Structure 1
């Protein structure tokens, strides 16, 4: 199971529920090194002292806040802990809101909450209350030396802590150029056909059927390079990868929707069960008919061959008669 990254308690009112925080996600990004293409030597990232130009060991690196130019206040790990002990040890619930009312772009990183020692009963109470009311808890929590706004959500039998962006970190949606209706809007016919397509493509939520296919394809390409021995060969740019410079086309949305529904229908037909076999009598009759046709064709070919043989022999005999007549003369 994932490691514990934080220990503390959920706090709301006078209730205190001991919990531990565990990661609810993991990264599958490929770990790529930067190389010098001339000799394929790795390029390291060094921490350089900007005054001396020399490398600084990690033990000598501290964090500092610049309150004026070139003037710093140094902060240690203990300073971060002592800044607000209560904040660093509690998921402090501020209020409860309708879970469905939180816009999705506020969510950032999910974490699992697990009850710690003597926290099971309070955990179960909070979980069941939130489940029945359909509420999410908005809370403040300090993780990795940074305070986060967070939402406590119910999922199955667990509570999930999802860190969120603060309001000033979210750009105003009003700045977007969005369709305003009229010619830019969708017609009732288009909406009706689009709904049919959505209904046709609807299925149960099954995230395990999706994979990072780009990562898989990249790993296959890496494996192929290793097997072929081209471990240091740079692949030239493909012409197909160049961006298209064609102008924008007028989109016939109804035609696209019709074609999409047609393709879905053909695919469903291809996946349908195979047609039943014809009865034995009909199959036998077909075989007999096929046999008769084959016999007729064979007879025709034989007759044609005989006629051709007769013509050839007649042609051969004719010159012989002529030569005999000349001799007699």
Structure 2
């Protein structure tokens, strides 16, 4: 198993008045087969050109503008300055807005996971949030900005870690309304109790403890085995790879003060807010 990557940035989990300094680490990596394009005459890397789809001619970056199609073949043009003005600013904060039960989020919403690790004096309060989530059976719903894009995310306890799993927005999920699906329920599909019992028995017989190491990408394994045989046979070519750009500098993490006091203040603030809404007199209608 690959080790966790270096920190992408340092910031804080925020809920109530409590701030937990954390560092963000990618929890996944692309492991498929990556075929590079090469010029067979010189073994030089082949890049992508900016081509005018109508004329087929290559154009320069200076002649490219950004547009959004609002009707067929009709566009609204947006300048780089207009787009930059509405980009979400990276605050490097994971702001928890609510908590929900662990089983309420369908798998189809899950997108990309990140590990969160405590930094500085955040060990205890990090562990407190993790254990409180486990005990309550809930996960946190938060907003976070990563690479100038705002995400909805689920803060999930997993073993010793807190995992920040980016979620898809609701308008990114397609419905199943146009699919021909059988109605819900056994009776609606004329499924007998005997058939249901036999299917359940088969499921029980095939049930195992989840071990991800037992499942591998067979296509990747076969391609890499072929690559290894070619390397051993000396069938290789030398390609000059372009230099990688450095990652942006990580920001500073938040500090932690007295945890008990912050929790008490957070609870007191929420209680006062609820009482204020309950005690607010109703406005009389004008005569």
TM bin (shorter chain): 0.5 to 0.7
8 Å Cα contact 1:88/1:143 also seen in 2: no
8 Å Cα contact 1:10/1:93 also seen in 2: yes
Deviations along 1:155-181, one digit per CA (max 9) or x if unpaired, are 111100000011111112333221126
Q: Which residue of 1 aligns with 2:79?
A: 73
What value does the CA root-mean-square deviation take over the aligned residues? Answer: 3.7
Q: Which residue of 1 aligns with 2:34?
A: 31
From the two aligned structures, give the one with the greater helix fraction: 1
Q: What pairs up with 1:220-231 in 2 under 5 angstroms?
A: 220-223=225-228
Q: Which residue of 2 aligns with 1:285?
A: none
Change (3 A) 1:83 1:174: closer
Alignment partner of 1:103 is 2:106: yes
116-125 vs 175-184, which moves further: 175-184
Give the count of matched residue pairs.
226
Change (3 A) 1:114 1:203: same
SS of match in other structure, 1:32? coil
Q: Which protein, 1 or 2, shows the higher relative CO under an 8 Å CA cutoff with sep ≥ 6?
A: 2
Alignment partner of 1:197 is 2:212: no
* TM superposition score normalised by structure 1: 0.58
* Distance in 1 between residues matched to 2:194 and 2:202, nearest whole Å: 13
Which structure has the larger Rg over C-alpha atoms?
1
Per-residue deviation, 1:186: 3.1
* Distance in 2 between residues matched to 1:63 and 1:116, nearest whole Å: 43
8 Å Cα contact 1:66/1:73 also seen in 2: no
Deviations along 1:24-66, one digit per CA (max 9) or x if unpaired, are 111111121235789987642134699994555xxx8999677
Change (3 A) 1:64 1:114: farther
Per-residue deviation, 1:135: 0.4
Q: What pairs up with 1:292-307 in 2 under 5 angstroms?
A: none
**133, 136, 147: which one pairs with 1:133?**
136
* Distance in 1 between residues matched to 2:159 and 2:165, nearest whole Å: 15
Q: What pairs up with 1:306-325 in 2 under 5 angstroms?
A: none
Change (3 A) 1:194 1:62: same
